[in-house]
Amino acid sequence: MLFLQFLLLAVLLPGGDNADAAPEHVSFHVIQTASFANQSWAQCHGSGWLDELQTHGWDHESNTISFLHTWSKGNFSNKEFLYLNVLFRAYSIGLIQDIQARASQYSVEYPFEVQMNAGCELHSGESPKSFFQVAFEGADLLSFQNTTWVPSPDCGSWAQSVCDLLNQYEGIKETVHTLLRSTCPRFLLGLLDSGKMYLHRQVRPEAWLSSRPSLGSGRLLLVCHVSGFYPKPVWATWMRNEEEQLGTEYSDILPNADGTWYLQVTLDVASEEAASLSCRVRHSSLGGQDIILYWGHHFSMNWIALVVVVVILVILIVLVLRFKKHCSYQDIL
Ligand SMILES: *[C@@H]1O[C@H](CO)[C@@H](O)[C@H](O)[C@H]1NC(C)=O
Ligand SMILES: *[C@@H]1O[C@H](CO)[C@@H](O)[C@H](O)[C@H]1NC(C)=O
Ligand SMILES: *[C@@H]1O[C@H](CO)[C@@H](O)[C@H](O)[C@H]1NC(C)=O
């Protein structure tokens, strides 16, 4: 059991207890989606991401990069961003015009979508890796490998001819290579530094329990909700006394709108066995003090708290009224 717990911890808490340790790998990438409705209408959406956190958008009004956090500029100067703006603008417009012009040549049918994902990845102790992948209608089409556009294996001759075309543009290949190999890792390191207060913050989770009927008759699905925590690594499980319940199931860790995370931990049990179960939550923000919620206790605990609050309020009101009366008598006298 202990071994299992350690295994789970190892899986769910990369980096272990030390929240300040540098992550094993971190990436910055730009996602671009170009939607083509017909021969005369297309739209491009771009965004920049530090791992799973969006740091940049693309402002369609001014055709410039938008910064979603105060630290999103990293250590790049405005001049450097001016250059990148010009580059991305020319690239988006050129890309759309080029694809529109050649859609009929490749007998592509409208509407369709082209997606790009490009960036770099730092692994501790290794040199940076970079990637540039292009997908057509959600399937891999081609990628950029060591200064050459390479078709995806099961894409056929179509992808090959697109690559042949792209590979003629030496200037573009050089620019892409520089952006991926030099600009991106440099920017990523600067971003990690300028955003370190935000990226290393600790936000405590809130946890609450609920249940819903399970499929089997006389069974309950107990749900432990853990929400609002940051950073992402978290450990939570259903326990009976000190024993971890092996049937515990985990949702994906989902993002909240404010950049914190949410997890659901469920356990399917016979209704009469629900008592004495508890949900235990461990997170770096809790400083070793796990949150433990007991099934069945939460209603009564809430009621007790409510009664206590009401009683205190009543006493306070009585005291205030008495004090006021007392004062006004004195005022008259
Ligand atoms: C092209 O698509 C846009 C957006 O869906 C639409 O508003 C426009 O009427 C279409 N134009 C033609 C020529 O079909
Ligand atoms: C990348 O390409 C260059 C020149 O085209 C070549 O010298 C180099 O060996 C290649 N590297 C890898 C890892 O394929
Ligand atoms: C930004 O920080 C990175 C990493 O510390 C450094 O390599 C780079 O020279 C700095 N300045 C710019 C303008 O990239």
CATH number at 231 reads 2.60.40.10
Record the pTM: 0.76
Q: Domain containing 186 — which CATH number?
A: 3.30.500.10
Q: Between these two residues, 198 and 327, which has the higher pLDDT value? A: 198
Please give the residue that has the higher pLDDT: either 6 or 104. Answer: 104
pLDDT interval class at 69 (50, 70, 90):
very high
End residue of a domain, out of 200, 215, 231: 200
Mean pLDDT of the region 140-165: 90
- The pLDDT > 70 percentage for the chain reads 87
Within-domain flag for 304:
no
Q: Which ligand is nearest to the CA of 192?
A: 3
Q: Pick the residue whose CA is nearest to atom 8 on ligand 2.
A: 146
Starting from the CA of residue 147, give the closest ligand: 2
37 in ligand 1 pocket by Cβ < 6 Å?
A: yes
Of 118 and 241, more confident: 118
pLDDT of 301 over the 80 cut: no
β-strand pairing of 148-151 with 261-270: unpaired
Q: Give the residue from 279, 156, 159 showing the smallest Cα distance to 211.
A: 279
Ligand nearest to the backbone CA of 173: 2
Task: Please name the residue whose Cα sits nearest to atom 13 of ligand 1.
Answer: 40
pLDDT at 17 over 80: no
Say if residues 119 and 105 touch (Cβ distance below 8 Å).
Answer: no
84 C-beta closer than 6 A to ligand 3: no
Q: For residues 192 and 230, state if they share a domain.
A: no
User: Average pLDDT of 287-308?
Assistant: 76
**Separation between Cα atoms, residue 64 and residue 62, nearest integer Å:** 5
Query: Do 190 and 214 reside in the same domain of the chain?
Result: no
What's the CA gap between 210 and 60, in Å, rounded? 43
Pairing of strands 235-240, 277-282: antiparallel
Of 127, 144, 146, the residue with max ligand 2 atoms within 8 A of its CB, to mutate for a pocket test, comes to 146
162 shares its domain with 273: no
Place of tokens 């309020």: 313
Asked if 14 and 194 count as a contact pair (C-beta separation under 8 A), the reply is: no
Same-domain status, 247 and 280: yes
Q: Kindly state if the Cβ of 128 falls inside 6 Å of ligand 3.
A: no
Residues 46 and 67 in one domain: yes
Residue whose CA is at the smallest distance from ligand 1 atom 7: 41
pLDDT in tens, 26-55: 999 999 999 999 989 999 999 999 999 999
Q: Are residues 192 and 77 in the same domain?
A: yes
9 confidence band (pLDDT: 50, 70, 90): very low
The reply to whether 333 falls in a domain is: no
Ligand with smallest separation from the Cα of 41: 1
The per-residue pLDDT for range 158-192, each reduced to its tens digit, is 899 899 999 999 999 999 999 999 999 999 999 99
Model confidence band, residue 326 (pLDDT cutoffs 50, 70, 90)? low
Coil/strand/helix, residue 144:
strand
DSSP state, 153? G
107, exposed or middle or buried, with CB in 10 Å at 0-12, 13-18, 19+?
exposed
Q: Would you say residue 329 lies in a domain?
A: no
Residues 36 and 149 in one domain: yes
pLDDT of amino acid 308: 75
Kindly state whether residues 266 and 189 are assigned to the same domain. no
pLDDT at position 316: 85
Report yes or no on 250 lying in a domain: yes
The single-letter code of the amino acid at 204 is R
Probe residue for ligand 3, chosen from 186, 187, 196 as the CB with the greatest number of ligand atoms within 8 Å = 186
The atom of ligand 1 lying closest to the CA of 37 is 2
Helix (H, G, I), strand (E, B) or coil at 276: coil
Domain assignment of residue 320, yes or no:
no
Model pLDDT, residue 8: 39
Q: What mean pLDDT is reported for the chain?
A: 87
Ligand 2 centre to CA of 130 (Å) is: 14
Q: Find out whether 264 and 228 touch, Cβ atoms under 8 Å.
A: no
Report which bound ligand comes closest to the CA of 76. 3
Residues above pLDDT 90, as percent of the chain: 63
- When pLDDT is averaged across residues 118-130 and rounded to a whole number, the result is 93
- Is 156 found in the same domain as 262? no
The whole-angstrom separation of Cα 146 and Cα 177 is: 8
Cβ–ligand 1 contact at 110 (below 6 Å): no
> Looking at residues 96-119, what average pLDDT do you find?
90
Based on the structure, what is the number of domains in the chain? 2
63 lines ligand 1 (CB under 6 A): no
Contact 111, 40 (CB under 8 A): no
How far, in Å, from the CA of 37 to the mean position of ligand 1?
7
**Domain span at 241:** 206-294
What is the token pair recorded at 66? 């938008």
> Which residue's alpha carbon is nearest to atom 1 within ligand 2?
146
User: Closest ligand 3 atom, CA of 77?
Assistant: 13
Task: Identify the pLDDT of residue 1.
Answer: 39
Rounded to 5°, the CA angle 146-152-153 comes to 115
